[in-house]
Structure 1
Amino acid sequence: MNPTIKDVAREAGVSVATVSRVLNNLPGYTEETRRRVLKVIKELGYQPNALARGLVCKRSHTIGILMPSLSSMVTSEMLKGIERQAHNNEKSVIVCNTDNDGIRTLEYLDVLKEKQVDGIIVVSANLTPVQYRKLVQFKKPVVLVSTCYAGGTLPYVKVDDEAAAYDATLYLLKKGHRRIGMLSGTKEDRIAGFPRIQGYKRALAEYGVTLGEEFIAYGDFTFRSGIKAMAQLLETASGMTAVFAASDEMAAGALVCAYKRGIKVPDDLSIIGYDNTQIAEMTIPPLTTLSQPFYHMGELGMMMLIDNIEQGKKMESRILPHTIQERETVKELFQK
């Protein structure tokens, strides 16, 4: 039979209330009493009831995670960082796969409220005004990871997407490329779609390169949309020597499309991706890409949340650095 809190109290010669205060780090006992109670707990192998502890300290020691996909390489890497820090700080997580479904997201928020989570992390999601208002009304700490809400007050952890896209395009320009196509996400995506297009266009403009809209093809960041968008670019972007893809998956799709058409990468066409997920190392040839620190994003988001919950520390938005991961899909051109 498992030992109870009453067994601990009896063996330690204290009241049940004192054992409860020791377990929940509340005042009202001496240091000698604390050591004696902890010693008995260890000897008996007593496991405190998490729900009961939560009722005392008004915390569930549980964090809710909202993410659009569990199978995505991007979100899975962030989830690893989130779970690592949760485990290190004795927190549990409830992971909710929203599947980019607005109604399901609202339903999960109701579930997390019912579960009395101590806070919420929203990963890589485009929040609607209704979802944003519900998060604010939740009255619990919220951190956005790899996303943000324009004009909102919720703290976030992400890279500067426009600056990152600018640097990816600039990398191609410095390699001598001028006729650079772009495989973009959706125009309506104000988090990862539009800013990356702006970064691409700004780099071209600063180099005095003028290209028409026929050099941009749109998809939804997925592998299959990359194949389709690349096929479109090959038809419309005359003289194209390089492509900037707004995700590694789209870049992988571009590589497949090029292979099927007998186009050699990087000899005939250079390609740079965006994210530096595992797929970038798996393509043939290995993909040069813009690297985001996804694992660290997840770690930092969870630590910000925990520091706020445990210490009341104010959460401030963070922009993390990005880098170019050079591999084998970009060729340097010699300019005359």
Structure 2
Amino acid sequence: MKPTIRDVAKMAGVSISTVSRVMNTPESVIESKRVRVQQAIEQLQYQPNSFARGLIYRKSFTLGLLIPDIENMYYAGIIRGMQDACIKLGYSLMICNTDRDKNRLLAYIDAFHEKQVDGIVFASDVIFPEYYEKLMSCKIPFVLISSHSDEYEVPSVEIDDEKAAYDAVKFLIELGHRDIGMIGFNHENSISGPPRYQGFLRALHEAGLDHNAEKIRCAAHRFEHAYDAAHELFTDYPELTAVFCVADEFAMGVISYLKDRNILVPGQVSVVGFDNLRMANMFIPKLTTISQPMYEMGYRAAEKLHELVTTGSTQVLREKLEHKLIVRESSRQR
């Protein structure tokens, strides 16, 4: 038979509650008892029953993650960071792909509630009132990642999207480019699209290049959409010598379009992406891009959610991590 917590307590000469405290809050147990319990656990090869543990503490020791597109490489780093933090903090992680479908997302919140998850990380989307109301009615703590809310007091982890886009476009301007376009997100229901567009405009305005403000086309999160948007952009503005893309996948779509038209990158057109996906360093040419600390964002989101679950609040409500411009082969001096 598998050893039980009662067996551990008997071998260590302590109460069952002391064994439980050693496993969950070891700092609350004096060293002599803690050592005896740990030795008994090791000798018996005891593994706690997570279901019973959840009944005792009224917790499932499970976190939920809602992401809009599991095929998007951007989320791989976030998931890895969250997973590592969950292992450290003693949680399991459940991942649900919403496809940016409101009904599906609301259904997943209900499913998380039924599974009694301790908290949810909500990635990359706008918190619509129906989402917020559902989460509040279910009394599930939640944290935003790659998103924020101006309307609600919700903890979040992200970068400064406006500043990051500004830095990317300013870099192109410093390379001598004067005809600069942009491939952006469709702004409808986009959380990062508007601030990245504002960063694009701010860099142009500071350099006296406002004539480029209209040279933007939007795409819907996929390589092929960016390819089509690049066709529209260069058909209308063939004079462009540089393009800022709000995602690396978009940058790859633009470069592929230009290659199919025998337009050299970076010889004739420089392209800058955003995210620094693993593929950015494998693509030809290697992408100049804004690096987001995806792993660290995922890790911090899990830590912040743990803080919210255990204390009811977070020390820092809206946390912004640092981005970095990574210069590679897809950009050059004009």
Give the structure-2-normalised TM-score: 0.92
Measured against aligned partners, the alpha-carbon deviations of 1:90-130 in whole angstroms (never above 9, x if no partner) come to 21111111121111111111111111111111122233221
Structure 1 counterpart SS, 2:66:
strand
Residue matched to 2:94: 94
- SS of 2:38's equivalent in the other structure is helix
Task: Report which stretch shifted further, 310-319 or 289-298.
Answer: 310-319
Contact 2:186/2:219 (<8 A) preserved? yes
1:325 partnered with 2:321: no
Tell me the amino acid that sits aligned with residue 158 of structure 1.
E
The range that moved more, 136-145 or 163-172, is: 136-145
Instruction: Give the match for residue 217 of structure 2.
Output: 217
Which is worse superposed, 103-112 or 35-44? 35-44
Change (3 A) 1:11 1:249: same
* Structure-2 separation of matches of 1:145 and 1:85: 14
Shift of 1:37: 3.5
> Paired residue for 2:247?
247
With over 3 angstroms needed to count, the CA separation of the structure-2 counterparts of 1:312 and 1:255, relative to structure 1, is same
CA 134–332 in structure 1, closer or farther in 2 if over 3 Å, else same: same
The amino acid that maps onto 1:327 is: R
3-state DSSP of counterpart to 2:168: helix
Question: Offset at 1:164?
Answer: 1.1
| Mapped partners of 2:246, 2:165: distance in 1 | 8
- Structure 2 matches for 1:91-130, cutoff 5 A? 91-130=91-130
Can you give the 5+ residue segments of structure 1 that lack an aligned partner in the other structure? none
Q: 1:22 to 1:199 in 2, by over 3 A?
A: closer
Aligned residues: 333
Contact 1:292 1:322 in 2 (8 A): yes
| Correspondence for 1:78 | 78
- What's the CA shift string for 1:170-206, capped at 9, x where partnerless? 1111111111011111021441212211111111111
Question: Which letter does structure 1 place at the counterpart of 2:331?
Answer: V
Q: How far apart, CA to CA, are the structure 2 residues paired with 1:68 and 1:129?
A: 18
Q: How far apart, CA to CA, are the structure 2 residues paired with 1:159 and 1:24?
A: 33
1:136-171 per-residue CA deviation (whole Å, 9 max, x = no partner) reads: 333233111111123221111111111111111111
Displacement of 1:280 in angstroms is 1.3
The whole-number CA distance in structure 2 between the counterparts of 1:298 and 1:237 is 39
Shift of 1:34: 4.4
SS at match of 1:103: helix
For residues 261 and 30 of structure 1, the distance between their equivalents in structure 2, rounded to whole angstroms, comes to 72
Instruction: Please tell me the residue identity of whatever aligns with 1:203.
Output: A
The alpha-carbon deviation at position 221 of structure 1 amounts to 2.7
Of 147-156 and 25-34, deviating more is 25-34
Structure 2's unaligned 5+ residue stretches are none
Matches within 5 A, 1:4-43: 4-14=4-14, 16=16, 19-20=19-20, 22-25=22-25, 32-43=32-43
Structure-2 residue corresponding to 1:193:
193
Instruction: After superposing the two structures, state which structure 1 stretch, 23-32 or 186-195, moved more.
Output: 23-32
Secondary structure at 2:211's aligned position in 1?
Answer: coil
TM-score by structure 1 length?
A: 0.92
Structure 1 window deviating more from structure 2 (320-329 vs 307-316): it is: 307-316
Q: Aligned equivalents of 1:83 and 1:56: distance in 2?
A: 24
Aligned residue number for residue 202 of structure 1: 202
Structure 1 SS opposite 2:210: coil
Which digits, 9 at most, give the CA deviation of each residue in 1:18-69, with x for residues without a partner?
Answer: 5445545499987644443433222111211111111112222111111112
The equivalent residue for 1:265 is 265
Aligned 8 A contact 2:63 2:92 in 1 = yes
* Aligned-pair Cα RMSD in Å: 2.2
Answer yes or no: is the 8 Å Cα contact 1:122–1:142 preserved in 2.
Answer: yes
Cα gap change, 1:6 to 1:290, in 2 (>3 Å): closer
Conserved? CA contact 2:201–2:213, under 8 Å:
no
Q: Which residue of 2 aligns with 1:285?
A: 285
Pair 1:262–1:322, CA change in 2 (3 A): same
Cα distance between partner residues in 1 of 2:7 and 2:223 = 59
The share of aligned pairs that are identical, in percent, is 40
